[in-house]
Amino acid sequence: MDADREGRGRRSPGRTVAYAACGVVLLAGCASMPDSGDLRGVDSTARQDTPVRVFAMPPQEDAEPTDIVQGFLEALTSDDPNYETARKYLTPSAAKQWQPRVSTTVLDDGPGADVVPPVDREQSDDDKSFTLVGTKVAVVDAQQSYSPASGEYRETVHLVHDKKTKQWRIDSPPRGVVMGRSDFQRNYMSVNKYYFASNTRAATAPQTVAVADPVYVRERVDPMTQLVRSLLSGPTSWLDPVVRTSFPTGTALRSGVSSLTPDDRSTLTVPLNNKAAHAGADQCKAMAAQLLFTLQGLTPAVDEVELQADGRQLCSAAEGDANGDATRGSVEKPEFLYFVNGEHRLVRVSAEPDGSGTKAQPLAVPGALGEGDKDLRSVAVSRDEHTAAGVGLDGKALYVGSLVSGGSLGEPVLVSSGKTTEDRLTTPSWDTEGDLWVADRNPVDPRLLLFKEGAGKPLEVETPGLDGRIRDLRVAADGVRIALVVEKGGKQSLFIGRIEREGKTGDPQRVSVRELRSTTPDLEEVTTMSWAGDSRLVVVGREQGGVQQTRYVQVDGSTPEGPPPAALTGVKEIAASEDADMPLVAYSEDGIVRLPSGAQWQKVDADGTAPVYPG
């Protein structure tokens, strides 16, 4: 998408007028459009190297129907906060009824690549219709939640000639907003708002776990205020069943508050309505933590938030206070990187390179998985780094042992009866409560299993809607989402599922993974993946007919800003930490290698396999 963003949108002379001193670009909206036949697509605004505001021009006097439609489509891509200019292309009645925030449809090349009058109705001299056609890429809904989309986009735009003003106006606009991919990337940015897991706590402390809920906001239309309003309105529908908010029902910004700006002390004052006036001290601290977590992903300009309601201060909180109230995977630094060495034992090295360029010396972990005699194929280490799980070399048996010197391993906690290695156990994964997840790929009895604290009888996890066999899995640090590589008909796809637990916290009686969402619909093969942030994963895969590639994806299926990881050939497994400062690690043709920030891939161990961070 980034290449698309840079390579598109070179406008013809006269299409825009730029005022560099004011940081403004005006969209002329005056392209030539025939009354029938093909319409040239709406050109995307070229991406600017410096922040600029893009505003549309209103319709010209006596503009032709084609110019009205073109101008309206251009206005949808502007930075007009309330789309007031776009409404000027509509009849008064249509302007009142049109709801631009109901959805944003993203097309591959922009709307209008092929516009023709419909053939199933008569048109008079005062009546014109055009059909907008394009290929759908995604839809952002009224909750600002992104979902990949595909298929043809077809919407009819109908115009009338006003007998009083003698001007053409649109009386039937397309639903919501529609624009091309590159204009969407220029106009919108992905940010995380944060809620709290409703039935999950960190095993290491009785802390609430913060969960990222990604949404898209318009980048140059007061994104801070947009994001706060979105946070107060509650979680998106997909995440809502497993999270809660600390804000009382009905909490919103105080009437009359149109914009929020931090002061010169980097403190943001947030005036709330009276619904929040009676929040207690602990509840207010949790509200402030949600706000801080949310705003920190948007801007470094906010170090503290102050909440007000009913004309008085409710509470204030700085970053340290918020991190004490809740835990996030993105700020939990692992101590070690783990992998299986050439002797098939579990070893570890410091998670952070020392910066000297000296090759790290892996050491066997204390305990039976590092010091014992079991040959291992894959491993997982608990998030507190006190316990590890390992799958035997033949993929048949799952062992769990403490990382304490001299500890014994005992009998396996699970044995698969699959006939081949690929039909047996996946790499296991630990969640934030200290529970162990693994899938048995036996085609006769495929199962997703959970072991409470890595022991006892496994709980079979329900997977309604799963179409295919689980080939790989990773549980997110928040404990409410799981990434699954699902195989069907020789094709692998990456899905994100919502983990629902029924029963009291810490002792669920029933666990299920629901509403699986595809995050890589364009990939035919998914080789390996790992969580790489609160709402981001790193994926190695291949498109149909393509070559292997490594890239980042968001849990909603969108592509995050920034470049992909440095190229690496022959990647078989990959590991990342939710903490973005930790190096990316891979098992490739060169053994275990890692990618420190700003550097190239560096060899860690030529004979190692199965790299993992805790989790």
| Spatial separation of the C-alpha atoms in residues 237 and 247, rounded to whole Å | 17
Mean pLDDT calculated for residue range 340-364 = 88
Task: Sheet containing 507-518: give its strands across.
Answer: 469-475, 481-488, 491-504, 507-518
Given a cut of 90, whether residue 4 has pLDDT beyond it is: no
Q: Give every CB contact of residue 13 below 8 A, 6+ residues apart in sequence.
A: none
Q: Could you give the percent of the chain with pLDDT greater than 70?
A: 87
| Spatial separation of the C-alpha atoms in residues 381 and 379, rounded to whole Å | 7
Interval 112-129: pLDDT, tens: 745 555 555 555 678 899
| Spatial separation of the C-alpha atoms in residues 7 and 47, rounded to whole Å | 9
Contact predicate 327/202, CB 8 Å: yes
| Spatial separation of the C-alpha atoms in residues 303 and 291, rounded to whole Å | 11
Query: Tokens at residue 545, please?
Result: 């007919």
Contact predicate 554/591, CB 8 Å: no
Interval 153-208: pLDDT, tens: 999 999 999 988 999 999 999 999 999 999 999 999 999 999 999 977 766 555 78
pLDDT-based confidence at residue 18 (cuts at 50, 70, 90): very low
Given a cut of 50, whether residue 33 has pLDDT beyond it is: no
DSSP SS3 for 162: coil
pLDDT at residue 53, as a whole number:
75
Using only the alpha carbons of the chain, give its radius of gyration. Answer: 27
Mean pLDDT calculated for residue range 49-73 = 86
Report the DSSP pairing between strands 609-612 and 602-605: unpaired
| Spatial separation of the C-alpha atoms in residues 460 and 449, rounded to whole Å | 5
DSSP 338: E
**Every domain range in the chain assigned CATH 2.120.10.30:** 330-612
What is the reported pTM?
0.89
pLDDT at residue 231, as a whole number:
98
Given a cut of 90, whether residue 312 has pLDDT beyond it is: yes
pLDDT at residue 72, as a whole number:
96
Q: Which CATH superfamily is domain 330-612 in?
A: TolB, C-terminal domain (2.120.10.30)
Mean pLDDT calculated for residue range 11-39 = 38
| Spatial separation of the C-alpha atoms in residues 563 and 102, rounded to whole Å | 31
pLDDT at residue 526, as a whole number:
97
* Whole-number Cα distances in Å, 441 to 234, 364, 447, 615: 38, 29, 7, 21
SS3 content of the chain, % helix, strand, coil (to 5): 15, 40, 45
Q: Where are the beta strands (DSSP E) in 113-176?
A: 127-141, 146-148, 152-161, 168-172
| Spatial separation of the C-alpha atoms in residues 330 and 531, rounded to whole Å | 10
| Spatial separation of the C-alpha atoms in residues 376 and 359, rounded to whole Å | 24
Mean pLDDT calculated for residue range 325-334 = 89
Interval 480-516: pLDDT, tens: 999 999 999 999 999 999 999 987 665 667 999 999 9
Q: Give every CB contact of residue 187 below 8 A, 6+ residues apart in sequence.
A: 77, 79, 179, 218, 219, 220
Point out the least confidently predicted range of 48-57, 334-343, 553-562: 48-57
DSSP SS3 for 347: strand
DSSP SS3 for 368: helix
φ and ψ of 68, to 5 deg = -65, -45
Q: What angle (nearest 5°) sits at the alpha carbon of residue 500, between those of residues 494 and 501? A: 140
pLDDT at residue 123, as a whole number:
57
